[in-house]
Chain A
């Protein structure tokens, strides 16, 4: 279990993480989601004791990372920027890490086998492809058979087969009762792997929710596509209600704020012919974008924002 309490991190003037509080539970896969530069990697470095927080506390299984007697058994981590000397072979890299804890060579060979790097284990890491480097990072993270696994962007550079592999691996680790915490800036990847989501934007917590809840919330923001030979008349009618309307092409509108049934009734009253009425589910990616986008831009000017879209709708 990872416990982040009121953590802030400033680098000079720049606030990378701003009063962040969340917990990561064992037994499930927790996704750590946010746009690039949101502070995901910084938060992970704070958890791993690499950077010291400006304020707040971070505990892993109730203990500060720096106080662990055997950190590789407690936490296995892979950071986005590969923390590997490129001049060393994969085997020697893992061996050197294992030796700090007196972990036997047989375990080094075991994790090399597990991530499928046996054929290249004696080659210098500098010659590795992105995907092989990623697998080596996973091997290093699993070296100590840790109770908590932290991976920064594990799917980066992996081919579809590799992504499938890591997804199953992470789910398996969680099923064994481990704490699994992985970051990504891709919502679609998370939706298939994670059970729970921590979403941050600009260093602040935006959402701490189950994936199911997130998906449910995402689909409630339904858009409706309406095709009508009298599209411009329909738009004029709809704009009078509190509705956001966009003209996609002549005769085709997209709007949000009303259900398909409500639109049907409005159209009937106005005697407007409708040839298509399709509810559009916002994709998870869009839901994520709107969620994080709000945190970045909309908070200060929510009123103006509504006005603008109405004007755009009317002008179109």
Chain B
């Protein structure tokens, strides 16, 4: 069994309605359902029934990150394999739009979910006239095409990376190494994307962002201006990442969850060789690419420590 893609992310929101208004009216996602206090949102280019779930919570976090799988009949075997590694697992039966799903926690408190069947039908009145496009464009807000990836800082780095690679089919595409030589960040993907999840060594659980795909840098630059007009100036960017080659922009939604706009990544093939960076090389390249690296790395605590160690 292999994971196919990041299917949806559930964000904890202390103001669900404000987050909904921002993500729908400014970002242009479509509200597709409400259930049990949660609001389900979808990007126009996502085939799954929803891309994000906004749920009541006390602080910014990803309440769970859900993955589609190619062979749900193998979930029992995955459950056993996780249990053999001492990983806590359980079956979630109450989430809307889906059958019971296997959930697990790798020790840091981050909840992951493997879907046993994913509803992938377009919904009613916003269906596109283009047969290969799930929803119609509405011309409202940023309108990112789809959910792209997530970035998780964790004190369970080794376990998380190992489980994703050894049980779920992920591969390392890029790796950032600390001065000690141990990996700081793994960019992991299970398809041709450069990453479906970035896992970063951190002191605790530090969910960094969920990323939504933007088709072009030009679209992102115009979106940055729109965000300024609407009172949500970007936290960082738009700018150029060194790893992933991607163009990016970070903005905090009203409940404090960081949303990344992500464009212009490269794609990988099965024979891809993982690319290696030292923290020093990565920061030097980001500086050369024209934005202040401390802006980016101050939001990534452990990396900042590593930088200080390099500087010292």
Say whether A and B bind each other. Answer: no
Interfacial residues, chain A to chain B (CB-CB below 8 A): none
